[in-house]
């Protein structure tokens, strides 16, 4: 295990709740952290911009050293006009963990390091992983095939193996992780932590429409569509939401990645695709909408059982 010191002894389960657009807000983050897993949210979920500082005040006032630390996701793509403002607030409130996406920047990493925070950068292949570490990231989030939202296409076995051939720092694995068994499997192949999003959509604290939550419960891997139409970056989405938007999920056009633009999101404008529901392939394991603490308790039971089974198999 190569967990950073701030995570040692504060997790009931080696898991990060991934930051999800619209869905991840303080209520869910607090519930995750109190249950013993890292809760995370994108800074752009806090709109207008002044709300981000209010959320940071709420989280720092509510959570204690007995809880797991929280994380903020910063989109570092050049089209995000709020990056500098949000980064300054992360520094001011000493956000413990910052997850960077869509680009790796030395200045962002240096700012987080200035107060002792750590930076995890999400990557979809080994080339991007090397760039992130070269620019100062402390750890990596390997986004493999089957992950919800923006996702890669590589097998988690291949992606983690390539990263571990040269990197011994913290690695979290994302990609169809929805059970405690999956978390144990992630560790068995070389990751330190699981990175889970879709299962937390179907929790009572998630800021998601009831129909979205029910679609997670009712869905399976065959209901997931991989497309770059909605953001310019390939990701996984629920087929029923695409059909509800009047489109054929089997015949979606390609988007121009150069047109990727986070300015409208940052300014709180209504997005054309806000009702297209991101989701990973692991949803077949999700059977009900439950409180986040209940979900984490179920994951812990499954995780412990998986480790016990592996010990018995080895014996």
> Could you tell me the domains of the chain?
5-209+280-314 (3.20.20.70)
Residues in the chain with pLDDT values less than 70: 1, 257-273, 314-315
pLDDT given for residue 270 in this prediction: 47
pLDDT given for residue 220 in this prediction: 95
Q: Model pTM?
A: 0.92
In this structure, what are the phi and psi dihedrals at residue 99, rounded to the nearest 5 degrees? -100, 120
pLDDT given for residue 82 in this prediction: 94
pLDDT tens-place string over residues 97-120: 999 998 889 999 999 999 999 999
pLDDT given for residue 182 in this prediction: 97
pLDDT tens-place string over residues 223-236: 999 998 888 888 89
pLDDT given for residue 263 in this prediction: 52
pLDDT given for residue 195 in this prediction: 98
pLDDT given for residue 151 in this prediction: 86
pLDDT given for residue 232 in this prediction: 82
């Amino acid at each position: 295990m190569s967990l950073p010191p701030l995570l040692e002894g504060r997790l009931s389960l080696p898991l990060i709740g991934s930051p999800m657009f619209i869905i991840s807000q303080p209520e869910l983050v607090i519930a995750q952290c109190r249950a013993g897993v890292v809760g995370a949210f994108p800074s752009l979920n806090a709109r207008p911009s002044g709300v981000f500082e209010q959320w940071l005040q709420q989280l720092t006032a509510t959570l204690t050293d007995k809880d797991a630390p929280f994380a903020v996701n910063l989109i570092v793509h050049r089209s995000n006009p709020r990056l500098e403002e949000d980064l300054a607030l992360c520094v001011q409130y000493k956000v413990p963990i910052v997850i960077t996406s869509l680009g790796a920047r030395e200045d962002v990493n240096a700012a987080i390091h200035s107060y002792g925070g750590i930076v995890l950068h999400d990557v979809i292949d080994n080339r991007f992983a090397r760039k992130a570490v070269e620019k100062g990231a402390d750890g990596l989030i390997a986004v493999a095939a089957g992950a919800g939202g923006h996702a890669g296409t590589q097998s988690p076995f291949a992606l983690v193996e390539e990263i571990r051939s040269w990197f011994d720092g913290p690695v979290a694995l994302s990609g169809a992780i929805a059970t405690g068994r999956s978390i144990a499997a992630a560790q068995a192949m070389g990751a330190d932590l699981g990175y889970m999003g879709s299962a937390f959509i179907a929790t009572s604290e998630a800021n998601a429409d009831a129909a979205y939550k029910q679609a997670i419960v009712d869905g399976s891997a065959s209901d997931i569509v991989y497309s770059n139409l909605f953001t310019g970056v390939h990701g996984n989405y629920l087929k029923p939401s695409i059909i509800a938007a009047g489109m054929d999920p089997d015949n979606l056009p390609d988007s121009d990645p150069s047109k990727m633009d986070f300015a409208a999101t940052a300014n709180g404008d209504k997005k054309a695709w806000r009702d297209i529901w991101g989701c990973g392939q692991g949803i077949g394991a999700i059977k009900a909408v439950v409180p986040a603490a209940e979900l984490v308790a179920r994951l812990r039971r499954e995780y412990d059982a998986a480790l016990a089974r592996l010990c018995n198999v080895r014996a």
